Structures are given as structure tokens and as C-alpha cells.
Structure 1
Amino acid sequence: MQTVKKEYVEKRLNDLRKRMSENGIDFLIIWDPDNQYYLSGFRAISYSRPIILLVYPDKTQYIIPALEEDHARENAKVDDFFVYHEKYSNSYLDTTFHQPLERIIDKLAKDKVLGLELNTVPASLYKELQINGFNIKDISHELIEMRAIKDEEEIYWLDQAGFLSDIALDASFANLKVGMSELEFDSNGDRKLLEIASKKYPDNIVGYENWTCSGIKRSTMPHLYSSTRKFEKNDVVIHSRQVWINGYRAENERTFLIGKPHEEQKKCLQLAIEAQRIGMEAVKPGVKAKDVDIASFNAIKNAGYADFVQHRIGHGLGLTEHEEPYLRFDNEIVLKEGMVYTIEPGIYIPSVGGFRHSDTVIVTKDGCRSITKYPRELIDLLFDI
């Protein structure tokens, strides 16, 4: 199976260790699964059995449950493993992650500075480490900064995810008809996605999630699971799809109109498309995140629909479905080449419907490029069926 290449893991660890030194941090406990994958190349399916990555200036270690041992040893690029068990015949060995962790930290001088992701680590673990007398510093911001700028390998997989998402959208739209359920609509894209992924990317991990919100009421609440509701004549529909390959995600959403929509629905969809275009054009190195959001919002405000905006224009994307930094009106962060964002301004009018496209863009040296390319113009999304 495809895993993160060792040279990229080493480069990321070198960057992290430099940041540790600059912040006076002696060792790290990494809890967040996406951060662990980023720094080691290993990801489990479930984390109900806690997994901990330890990072020192000269080595890395994993604390893992026994059922993940073979998987971790095959994929994780670390120096040592500590295994805990939940089988009765191994009850004389470590049976929780606390036991190996306590031995590890007992060997460390209490004047050492410990780095934690305070935005994700459980309060119980934080309290335990405090009781042990460690000086704790937050490393969350450093990891956010690192992951915000994607390297060559990450961008490659993001491009592939974008390609697959376009394939899936195309297959769903090709089979669209009145009377089919939202779930049936999704399934056509799912089937084609899995078929193409299996042929084009052997021995890789591909996943997806999607939701379809049809009708005036459901489209104005666009974060709903797909349902058995059937498409009707003159429906407004938001179809949202995320595809990931080897962990890296593309988000691809389209609003479409079935039958003969009334003029305000077409006007609102066209406005959402225009606001998205303005947002995309605003994305470039040196621009503040807030200015992208404000530029798009002003386009909607100037058209008289400011009261029907509910959210920021976009979020960071990569290993996590929504990740920092965000494109919102109060974020002063300056965009840099290699950052990845969704651009997805939305308009939601209770009596008319919801209207939102989302595309995934990578910040380039002089602007941005979209890795999701499915047609987004109004004429492409009117289906008189």
C-alpha cells in the first residue's frame, strides 16, 4: 500500500524539531491522528484504543494497541514501539497506554518542557502530565503552520483527489432523473469513483463522503446527510462530495436546478457563482485570509442578499475535512504559496432555496488554481428533465 515517503517524513520532522528548539520544547506528545499521519505515515481506522506518537530531538516512538502492531510496523516511520494489550492471556503485560507512557515520562527530568496539541489532547491526559510536574507548552499553532503549506507529495495526491471527485460528479449528473432519491443520485457517482480509482490507482487508499440536499427546505440546510427523498420537478439541489486518496482530500460541490426554476432561483445561483469567482480571483500570496471572505461577501451584499449568508467563504483542506487556517472576515493570516482552501460562498433563502458551489484551490505563486474542474456555470447546471 502507498504510504508517505520517508524523505517527506524526515523533512517534516526536521522542521518540527527546529520549531521545538526555537520554543524551548524538549519532547512532544502527538495525539491528533492526522498530525500523527503527517509525521509518521501511519493512520489507523479507529482510535477508540488511544495511539500516541512521541517526538524527541533524536528519535520518535509510538505507543500502540496490539491489534495495530503489524499495521504500524509496516507503515510507521518511527524508531521504537511500545505495545499494550487487551487479551486476557496477556493481562500480565501493559493493558493501557498509560502504563508505557508513565514509564517513559518517569525517566525524563521534570525540568523538561513538554509540547502538547492543546486543541485536541484530552483534558485527563493534560491533567496527568501537569500532576507529574512537567512544564507544558502548546505546539498546536506550529503544527497548523506546517500543515497549512503543502509539499510536492501532498499536492500530487490533492490533484488526484480532485480528478476523482470530478469523475464522481460527472457520473451522478449523467444519470440524473426526476423520481430518483438523493441516495440513488449519490450512488452513481460512488460506483464510478470506485471503478476508476481501482483501475488507475492500484494499491492505494481511496475514500469518500457526500451528501445531497434537495428541495427548498433541505437545500437551505446544506449540511444534511443524503436521504431517501426523491427529486421532484423544479427542485433546487446542493450536491457535496469529498474524495480522498492516501489521506488527501478534495471538496467538490455543485448546486443544480431541475425542471423550470423561477427567475429568483436562477438569479441567486448566478450570484453564488459570481461571488465564488470573485473569491477565487482574490486568492494569491500576500493577501490576508479575511480579504478573500470580505470580497466575496461584498458581492452578495451589493446584490441585496447579505442577510442570507450564513458562513465564511472557505476553510483549509488537506488531511482533515475542515482544517485551519480559515478564510473568514476576522483572520489576519497572510496567504502563502502551497496553502489549500475551499472557496464556497453560500446564499440560503427559506422561501427560495440554498445556492452554493465549492471548489478546492491551491495557492500558486501568482494566484490560485482549482483542482476541482467540473463545470460551474449556470447553463451547465440547469437540467430540464
Structure 2
Amino acid sequence: MDSLKLPRAEYQDRTETLLSHAHADGYDAVLLFGSLNIQYISGMYHLPTERPVVLAVTDKQMDIVVPRLEKEHAERDSFLIDDVHVYFDYPQGQPMDRVVTMCESLGIADSTIAVDTDGSPGRNGYQGPALSELLPGTVHTEDYITSMREQKSQSEIELIQEASTWATLGHRLLQERIEPGRRPIVVSTEVEAEASKTMLDTLGDRYEMMNWSAPMMCKFTTGEVTTRPHSVDQTTRIQSGDTIVTIVKPHVSGYTTELERTLIVGEPSEEQRHYFEIMRESQEIAIEAIKPGVEYSTIEQEVLNYYEEQGVSEYVQHHIGHNIGLEGHERPFLDLEYNGEIQPGELYTVEPGFYVPDVGGFRHSDTIVVTEGGTEMLTNYPRQISELTITTNA
């Protein structure tokens, strides 16, 4: 894609939608404390710490309170911000007092205000008062932006498609570097550096980092560790016969995608082949079931029915998938207990998996977008065991 940025008009449309929701519920203005919520509405990204950053959205103006170290960044013309209010630092800068002053200047201190949280989140040691304790007006918490983020615009989908294209490169490099005796963390570090360099060399000045994450994340676990889906142990050495589960997540303009594969080191055993094929088929069942109007719970039920038939239900440890975008996990969820129907513009990581003691974990994950007629695959990488076997000399 020619541009790696969302158009300014999209942020303006989001602002209008946010205020429309708020006004319909009787609110005069909206204040946002969450870093991704601020980014979603104004375009201004930042590294959230103990220092509060607070965005005020009214019909006439969008202002922000920032610590001194964010001042010049917040004043960028590309952000949808009219005025920047600055305090020095926390705690000496009294940031919440500055928020009150901003509200007074906007004429909303006595108003009814919707907030994403009642005050700045308590992170990195921050301990501050609730906004409702400081303003004479009425403050209520609402979840507008989380709901707005569920369905993606065409521009957002194109950014995630760009990230998905780079996921193929990252995973190919990762698979090429895996060999017995090496530690996953060492392989991952090498691959992330090489893949990130290639991304930056290709995309050039169009690419802008928006957090501490590398442009490309490529990680994996090996052997018995793969039976614990969220294990962070990447120091166990790779051995011939291991099952490996990977995760590759590039970032483009704040948006991410997800590509995961199950690999086998050396000639697969009959057990590995058996479980691999069940896993691969279960992902196809899930993808085939995803359509507009289908209940979220139906997708997981379809897979669980298949797992019951195949005798692997006892090895399941998580649901089928989740939406993805600015965060790696967003709602809606493909889960038995999640109510509602799938809508066009939602994206999902489709990742049914199971984890067999003494054999390993088995999980592919692909990112798909829901269209009016069904789904479109955004990630594209081999899925067959013959293409995912690591050749060794052992």
C-alpha cells in the first residue's frame, strides 16, 4: 500500500461517532485516559507510564493533557488535537489538577462527562484521585471505543494485510533457522533483527514505530514446553523429534496480525502426524464456519464437536480465537459464552489447538477478515505437515 497511515478523515469520523454515542446517552463530552483509546480517536500514540495522558473530546475542540516530555510529540500537525496542556511530571506536576483546568477551559467541568476510566490507570506506581472526585459535574464510565474497535475500516484492514504479508517473511526466516541444539530465544532474536531490517529497508520512511515492540516479533517454544500455550520458556534447547509452536506478529502503524504454525523437528512420528492432522482439520472447520450472522459460540461448538469425535477434547486449553487490531487480543471472542453474531469487518485469529502431554502442542493460527460473503485469509503460509517439517541430519 502507498501509505502506512490512516487518513485524517478517518479520525474525524471516529470522533463524530464517539460523540454521537455519548450525546445519545446524555453526555456533553468525553475524556479518555487509555493510551490506545487516545490513539484511536486522535492519532496520538505514546508510551503509557505513571504519567497520566488525558484526551478531552467536545463538539468544538479536542484538547490533551500531557507530561512535559510528550509536549512536542503531542503538538504534531498529524494528530487531531487542537490544544496541548502541559504539566512537568508525576507526582510533582499535579497532573489531575491540570486535567481539571483543561475541563474548565473547555467549559465542561460542570457537565455530564463519559470516561473510559474514572481517572488515570494505576500503572508504574501511579496513585491518583478519581476524576469524579475533582470535577463538580457528573462522571460515568462507558465502553464506547472498545465497541467501535470491533469492526475495522477498509484502511485498518489494509494495514493489517500489510502486516500479514510481512508475517510470511518472518516465519520463513524462522523456519529456516531452527535446528537441534539451538535455543529458541537466540533463533528468535536473530530472525527478528533480520526481518525488521528487511521491513525497514523496504518500507523506508513510510514506517513509523508507535511502541517499544520491534517491527517484527518471531518467537516459538519447543518440546514439552509447547504443552503450555503461554509459556515464556524459550531457553530449552531444540531436540530432534520436538514439536514446535511458533508465533509471528509484525506491527504496521500500530496494527498487528498473527501467524502461528506447528512444526516438527525431524521425521514426524505417527503420533505427531495423527494429532497434527486433527489440528489442521479443526482450523479448516472453524474458518469454514465463520460467516456474517453466525453466532460467535457456534464456531467453537463446531470445533469442540469435532474434537469430541476425535477423542482429543481433554487436551483443549483455550477457545477458538479472538479479534485483533491495535491489540493482539480484542473482542469479540470465538467462545461458547460470548453472545452475539459475527459481523463484516471483524478480524479473527483462528487458532483452535490442543496440547498432548509427552507429545506436544498442536496449533495453527491465521488472521482472517469477515466479508459480506464469508471470510478472506490475510495470512498466507504453508499448513501441511510435509511443508512444516524441519529436516535434520540426526
Normalized against structure 1, the TM-score is what?
Answer: 0.91
Counterpart among 71, 78, 81 of residue 81 in structure 2 = 78
Which one-letter code corresponds to 2:63 in the other structure? Q
Which one-letter code corresponds to 1:369 in the other structure? E
Moved more, 190-199 or 325-334: 190-199
What are the ranges of 5 or more consecutive residues in structure 1 without an aligned counterpart? none
Distance 1:38 1:208 in 2: 22
1:116 aligns with: 115
Secondary structure of the residue that 2:64 maps to in structure 1? strand
Distance 1:382 1:26 in 2: 59
Matched, 1:337 2:338: no
1:228 aligns with: 235
Which one-letter code corresponds to 2:116 in the other structure? E
Counterpart among 211, 224, 246 of residue 239 in structure 1 = 246
Matched, 1:176 2:173: no
CA RMSD of aligned residues (A): 2.3
Asked if the contact 1:111/1:134 (under 8 Å) is kept, the reply is yes
1:65 aligns with: 67
2:201 aligns with: 199
Which one-letter code corresponds to 2:216 in the other structure? Y
Secondary structure of the residue that 2:271 maps to in structure 1? helix
Distance 2:137 2:308 in 1: 51
2:95 aligns with: 97
Asked if the contact 1:237/1:257 (under 8 Å) is kept, the reply is yes
Asked if the contact 2:19/2:30 (under 8 Å) is kept, the reply is no
Distance 2:118 2:319 in 1: 21
Distance 1:268 1:126 in 2: 53
Which one-letter code corresponds to 2:368 in the other structure? V
Distance 2:117 2:356 in 1: 38
Secondary structure of the residue that 2:50 maps to in structure 1? coil
Asked if the contact 1:213/1:221 (under 8 Å) is kept, the reply is no
Distance 1:281 1:354 in 2: 23
2:255 aligns with: 248
Distance 2:139 2:47 in 1: 29
Asked if the contact 2:241/2:268 (under 8 Å) is kept, the reply is yes
Q: CA deviation at 1:12?
A: 0.7
Secondary structure of the residue that 2:257 maps to in structure 1? strand
2:160 aligns with: 158
Matched, 1:8 2:16: no
Counterpart among 209, 214, 236 of residue 217 in structure 2 = 209
1:380 aligns with: 387
Counterpart among 33, 53, 71 of residue 51 in structure 1 = 53
Report how many aligned residue pairs link the two structures.
378
Q: CA deviation at 1:339?
A: 0.7
Distance 2:216 2:26 in 1: 40
Asked if the contact 2:118/2:130 (under 8 Å) is kept, the reply is no
State the identity as a percent: 25
2:302 aligns with: 295
Counterpart among 136, 139, 149 of residue 136 in structure 1 = 139
Matched, 1:316 2:314: no
Which one-letter code corresponds to 1:37 in the other structure? Q
> Structure 1 residues 263 and 120, CA, compared in 2 at 3 Å: closer, same or farther?
farther
